[in-house]
Amino acid sequence: MVAIDEKLEGVYATVLHRSPGELEFHQAVREVFESLGLVVAKNPSYLAEGLLERICEPERQIIFRVPWTDDKGQVHVNRGFRVEFNSALGPYKGGLRFHPSVNLGIIKFLGFEQIFKNSLTGMPIGGGKGGSDFDPKGRSEGEIMRFCQSFMTELYRHLGEHTDVPAGDIGVGGREIGYMFGQYKRITNRYEAGVLTGKGIAWGGSLVRTEATGYGATFFVKEMLETRGDAMEGKKVVVSGAGNVAIYTVEKVQQLGGKVIAMSDSGGCLVDQDGIDLALIKDIKNNRRERISQYAKERTGAHHYAEGSIWSVPCDIAMPSATQNELTGRDAAILIRNGVKAVGEGANMPSTPEAIRLFLEAKVLFGPGKAANAGGVATSALEMQQNASRDSWTFETTEKRLSEIMRNIHSSCANMADEYGAPGNYVLGANIAGFKRVADAMRALGVV
């Protein structure tokens, strides 16, 4: 483990003491603190003014009961969360995750990361996150709709286009956003498009929002490769996951001339050395809502492995796009041994601290999630802009804006890493650049 500066130890001890057992939250805070030693040495006022302490304490945490009835008339109770972490730069902004693993610690780690990610986009958005331990797997349309309505029946009172603007995350896509927006509109009697992002195109959504996280992560990797005079063309790429982020990562990698040879889901990993047929994956996942193992049944030459790690498939570029801590130190060692050149995190905190350390030591280009996957939330901010001006932009305009934002995020991280004497260290660069913008805004707003 990398040491944290002794001046930050006291604040970190308070975090551990106040939030016992929230391991992912501790991990996310620690990773940022590991980068801030030199920053507080140069600017001791960040500590003196309690900015570190304030940034680790959510402004507000909402926990609520979500009761709903299944198709057989059986009553279920889930727990809902919204952690409104930081509003120094704009309304709380961040997704909702519906997954059985959700608990307060998970939502807090995601909300904490979101503050810095949103800051890095340069856009006027604060940080928040929410969700529920509801498991959508195997649930009917009607059950999903009733759950979303019950969830919003409590959450609506905390939201508003200038207050808190949720979006999707794992288990929450266009369908769920639709049901939640419908319920919000019904309760408030307001067509307030800017209260949720990731909406359908016919009712206030933005083109490119669906593709944005995967496209953005790929643009970020392209920028990193260019610093070494390299390109995506001809690279072998492994993308974990098979959700929205993974699918549109594959799409952009292929458009840029790379070859994706493996994907995965919770049932195992799929390898197709001829290059993944994305149309088939989209049909299996989006239309048929089946597992990716189905692909191997329909394509000769493709193999599905129920056991083993996707990271043992030799590749030039790894793009973890499934979930937190999916890429361990062991996986990183294997990737490095197999000659990996770049890693771009499409998911939030997918690499463990040990994996990150190994990548940095081996001088692998490593794009941390809070920079590399910021394209999703940045395009949400573009959706908010379109809603505010009652306008809608073309696909080309919006994608161009996204690629410029990713280029800017890349250069802020790279410049900050240079300034702090660690060229090429995007983890340090992202944490410092993200932190400074928020902390300076908080300072200007006084002790609130």
Binding site for ligand GLU (CB under 6 A): 93-95, 167, 169, 197, 348, 376-377, 380
Give the Å distances, CA to CA, from 356 to 135, 164, 288.
30, 32, 36
| Shortest distance (Å) from residue 199 CB to ligand GLU | 11
Give every strand in the sheet of 127-132, ordered side by side.
60-69, 75-86, 127-132, 92-98, 164-167
Tokens of 412: 């802020």
**Three-class secondary structure of residue 163 per DSSP:** coil
The structure tokens 């070859």 sit at: 259
Distance CA 199, CA 228 (A): 38
Tokens of 183: 């319920």
| Shortest distance (Å) from residue 288 CB to ligand GLU | 25
Distance CA 349, CA 109 (A): 9
Active site residues: 129
| Shortest distance (Å) from residue 261 CB to ligand GLU | 26
Closest CB to ligand GLU among 94 and 344?
Answer: 94
Closest CB to ligand GLU among 43 and 392?
Answer: 392
| Shortest distance (Å) from residue 162 CB to ligand GLU | 15
Q: Which residue is nearest to ligand GLU (CB)?
A: 95
Tokens of 115: 């503050």
Beta bridge partners of 67: 77
Closest CB to ligand GLU among 173 and 329?
Answer: 173
Instruction: Determine the distance from the C-alpha atom of residue 356 to the mean position of all C-alpha atoms in its chain, rounded to a whole number.
Output: 17
| Shortest distance (Å) from residue 95 CB to ligand GLU | 3
**CA proximity to 134, closest of 99, 173, 167:** 99
Cβ distance 168 to 158 under 8 Å? no
322-336 residues labelled b (16+ CB within 10 A) or e (exposed): bbbbbbbbebbebbb
Helix extents (H) in 239-342: 244-255, 278-282, 293-298, 329-337
| Shortest distance (Å) from residue 395 CB to ligand GLU | 18
Closest CB to ligand GLU among 251 and 316?
Answer: 251
Closest CB to ligand GLU among 45 and 101?
Answer: 101
Closest CB to ligand GLU among 93 and 146?
Answer: 93
Name, in order, each residue with C-beta under 8 angstroms of 211's C-beta and a sequence gap of 6 or more: 248, 251, 252, 399
